[in-house]
Chain A
Amino acid sequence: MKMAINVLQALILILGAPLARGVIGKLKAWIQRRQGASIWRPYADLAKLFRKEDLVPPSASWVFRCAPIVLLGATIAVAAFVPVVQPSALLASWGDFFLLVYLLALGRFFLSLGALDGGSAFGGMGASREALVSTLAEAPFLLGLVAVSILAAHADIAGMVTWTLHQNFFNVSAVHILAFTSLAMVVLAETGRMPVDNPTTHLELTMIHEGMVLEYSGPSLALIEWASAIKLHALLALLIALFGPWGMASSGSVEAIGLALLLYCTKAAVLMLLLAVIESGVAKLRMYLVPDFLGVASAVSALAVIFTMLVKR
């Protein structure tokens, strides 16, 4: 039963990812007083792209064609780490957050190579900027997770979530607040959202992620879009699981799972609303202000680690 729920969780993260994107888009549209597209539109987009043909530049090698596939594979593996409705996941009791972060790095590494394989200036531009952002995002990402893991005295994600689940919400420590702040900032940078990157831009002066995928089309583009949707969804789910897991099902009964799923959707909706508010209210940072943004995240996460010393265990 537990195994079946684990598989279900992975499927929620993987198949529900386009929906999460659609919801964010809708929320943004409401905040901006627009009608907005249907929340199911990302699925239609993916279906459309999958039916099209793949356009490949003549200079491209197998790296160009394989990059989206490796990216999707690594992102799906990440989804197998993240608990959604119960404090465990397919690989969560073995896999720790270092693996999770480095799987994301694996996908990003191949996507950057694919971008350079197109042989245009835009690919290089996107890859070079992505290299800067991801280089600086890695340290606060890991340090924020280290702080939580020290409190929980567990390195595996299941252990960390279970520990938080047994804490009282109102006893939450400063470490949690600091770690959440830094991780939320990192998630914005990692998933290419405002104020680090603008997911809707197609202007060469501003684009990072879009610059990298400019040469991709058809099914390859669909794989990339799907993978980045899964990444966003999985990281949001990770934030929920680490900092607000209360309500997760402790037994395998259908009611408990249903309730946990409902609670998860509510929590996810709150985070998405937050994201939509930030995206609508904040301007994109200049490229060379991004290191400052991530520098703040690094400092906050280092503080979180230092403060773990003061917490009584």
Chain B
Amino acid sequence: MYQGGKKAGGEEFTVQLVSIDRAFIFLLAALGLFAPILLLAGRTKRARGLAIALIVAANVVGCSVAALCFWRESHSLLDFSRITPFSFVLEIDKLSALFLLLICTVGVPVAIFAVSYFNRHYPEERRNWMWTFFSLFLLSMVVVVTASTGFAFLAGWELMTLLSAGLILMEGDSVERRHNVFIYLLMMHAGAAAVVAGFFLFLPYSHTLDFLAIRTASAGLPAGIRTAIFLLAFMGFGTKAGIIPLHLWLPRAHPIAPSPVSALMSGVMLKTAVYGFVRFAFDFLAGGPSWFGYLVLLAGAVSGLLGVLYAIAEHDLKRLLAYHSVENIGIIYLGLGTSLLFASHQAPLWASLALIAALLHTFNHALFKSLLFLGAGAISNATHTIDLEELGGLQQRMPITGTTFLIGCCSIVGLPLFNGFISEWLTFRSFLAGFVLTNSKAQIVLPLMVGVLALIGGLAAACFVKVFGVAFLGRPRSAEAEHAVEAPVSMRAGMTILAAACLLIGILPGLLLHPLASLGQALFPGAGVPEETLIIARVIPWIAAIILGVVVTTVLLKRTQRMVPTWGCGLPQLTSRMQYTSTVFSKPIRFVFSAVYRPDRKIERLPAGQPYFPTSISYSSVRTTSYEKALYRPFVDLIVSAAHQLRRLQTGNIQVYLLYIFLTLVALLAFLRFQK
């Protein structure tokens, strides 16, 4: 990869542009053509190895292309319109570059991790198919974030849904799994329909679906159309992003996918929805009235709070992580809503700050969430379960997995020195800046949002103390956990890369903040560089130095240690059953927030006649989510009853069908006649 000279000008710059285009073509061709052909035609171990190397190489090249476009003012444009029926153009501008960087940065470690994961979990003949889908899935996401025509975008969008569904189905085949995939596909297509409708509403004004034409036409749109487009984009992309109450598919689809695929779905695929929403709301529509902002803010607050509250009640690790994706999407939407609100009040600097916060959180979430899902994969690989109640004591048995997982936990909770903190801090500061909007409701609403985000952060901290404490610390709670061994080297490598990235951004946030600030300037003309992005980049290394200094000093002090058993209150030995479990740990929080869960509790004591000396007690507590029923049931009933009505048309009689065709023909001819 030719890096270009220090000065981006003259001949050198052209060379650089040409080589960026070439590298981008290599990325697309490797993921879309070479790797699948090698995998499906080769069918040997060596061909597969080569294909995997190609996938990793393509992602590395993708990283450097994105980095060049993101850090330097380069950009790339590829026009495939001659070989496709519709206009199919890919373009990397600054926003696309950020998301391309995100996809490829996560793509490399996940692919490395998947090498041994796929080897251990799937029979020989299925692995090639897994890798083919994996490669194409990555390609579809690359297309989505780099598309610069509606057709290219929608093609990538649809492929992304279908390929991920395929990957889930390849993991296994059961009625429940099919049902979950059905719900996934159904909701994705409802969302895609909204996105398509959003694009088509532009069409009468822009005449083509080129993003450039859409952008120029959007200034002349009537207010009603603008509102409709915004709402369609909000619903369409919100379904994919999993904002509550459109999240139903998320905790169903993510846990049943293979772990590397969950990592990609949760870490990267959800982010394409954020990309789409930013593209529509900020780039095409360039903001709107202030209620747009309030709507997005409300969606973010509800998703964030309910997402983390549902997560804390889970003890299936992957479902828990899936609910945390809902929570983090909520945090991202809080930033986006704040940005829209500031933009509607003509405060471009603060709008830019809030958008930077949201985009950085998007990037950070991609890193730590895929890290956590890979960790879940490593756990299930070692113990064959992801039920927290069956785990424990894994830190001693799987030190690398445990340490990287801990870094992921600290990042998602948003603790200082880890990457999640930087973006949450910027979000906090953009809320705080709300007080400058005098003579507006936002003056109070935004600062109060600090409380909401603080509650979300506190609950997330409680949840991840539980996750890490119960799964990795203490004593093992089952024989599987007792005999767990460390993950193989490729899995460890994948997780280590992601953990290192989390720490790097957490301690040196300036790396990403400077280019993000110039992206903010591009989207909000007139916005300078927000001071906050400079402050945090300056203060965090000092704090890191203080903490590191204390740690080094204390570790250097000589301490004598002795191993003694934990105090067992006079009992001869503690057993693992005496430890706190995941369910018990979260009990106080579930008790306080019981209005949210509306638990349906059952306690059974056996035998029934002896209430004081039962031989067995069984307890079950199921969360009932009434709003899901209340929201979706009437809608589903409506569709089912409409389908029943329509069934009358389907008589099975061929003469009637011929009549339908004839009537349709007559109707069309009549329509043509009267149109003139």
Contact = CB atoms under 8 A, between A and B. Distances in A.
Interface of A: 53-59, 61-66, 69-70, 72-74, 76-77, 80, 91, 94-96, 98-99, 101-103, 105-106, 108-109, 112-113, 115-121, 123-125, 127-129, 131-132, 134-143, 146-147, 149-150, 153, 155, 214-215, 218-219, 223, 287-288, 291, 298, 301-302, 305-306, 308-309
Contact of A146 (B450, B547, B549): B450
B588 A73 contact: no
A305 B564 CA distance: 51
Nearest to A66: B551
B425 A99 contact: yes
B417 interface: yes
Given A58-B565, A91-B539, A288-B591, A102 B465 contact: no
A132 B592 contact: yes
Contact of B447 (A76, A134, A305): A305
A227 B265 CA distance: 41
Dominant secondary structure of chain B at its interface with chain A: helix
Contacts of A123: 474, 580
9 contacts: A59-B566, A116-B473, A116-B580, A117-B474, A124-B584, A131-B466, A135-B458, A139-B455, A309-B443
Given A94-B538, A94-B539, A302-B451, A53 B396 contact: no
Given A91-B543, A127-B585, A131-B462, A119 B475 contact: yes
Contacts, number: 250
Given A99-B416, A134-B458, A134-B461, A77 B588 contact: no
B459 to A, nearest CB: 5
Given A132-B462, A143-B448, 18 more contacts: A53-B561, A59-B475, A59-B566, A66-B551, A69-B554, A80-B546, A91-B543, A102-B415, A116-B465, A116-B473, A117-B469, A119-B576, A120-B578, A121-B578, A134-B461, A136-B455, A142-B428, A143-B454
A150 B538 CA distance: 23
A77 B465 contact: no
Of the listed residues A98, A143, A309, the one surrounded by the most CB atoms of chain B closer than 10 A to its CB is: A98
B410 interface: yes
Contacts of A101: 454
Nearest to A306: B444
A218 B444 contact: no
Contact of A119 (B406, B551, B574): B574
A80 B554 CA distance: 18
Contact of B410 (A95, A109, A143, A155): A109
Interface in B548-594: 548-551, 554-555, 557, 559-568, 574, 576, 578-580, 584-589, 591-592
Interface of B: 393, 395-396, 399, 402, 406, 410, 413-417, 421, 425, 428-429, 432, 435, 443-444, 447-448, 450-452, 454-455, 457-459, 461-462, 464-466, 468-470, 472-475, 535, 538-539, 542-543, 546-551, 554-555, 557, 559-568, 574, 576, 578-580, 584-589, 591-592
B447 A55 contact: no
Given A63-B473, A132-B588, A120 B579 contact: yes
Of the listed residues B402, B413, B429, B539, the one surrounded by the most CB atoms of chain A closer than 10 A to its CB is: B539
Nearest to B417: A106
Contacts of A223: 554
Contacts of A137: 458
Give the 4 A-B CB pairs with smallest separation, nearest first. A124-B580, A116-B469, A135-B458, A131-B462
Contacts of B425: 98-99, 102
Contacts of A153: 435
B395 A121 contact: no
B547 A150 contact: no
Contacts of A139: 450-452, 454-455, 458
A142 B461 contact: no
Contacts of A65: 561
A120 B574 contact: yes
Contact of A149 (B396, B432, B559): B432
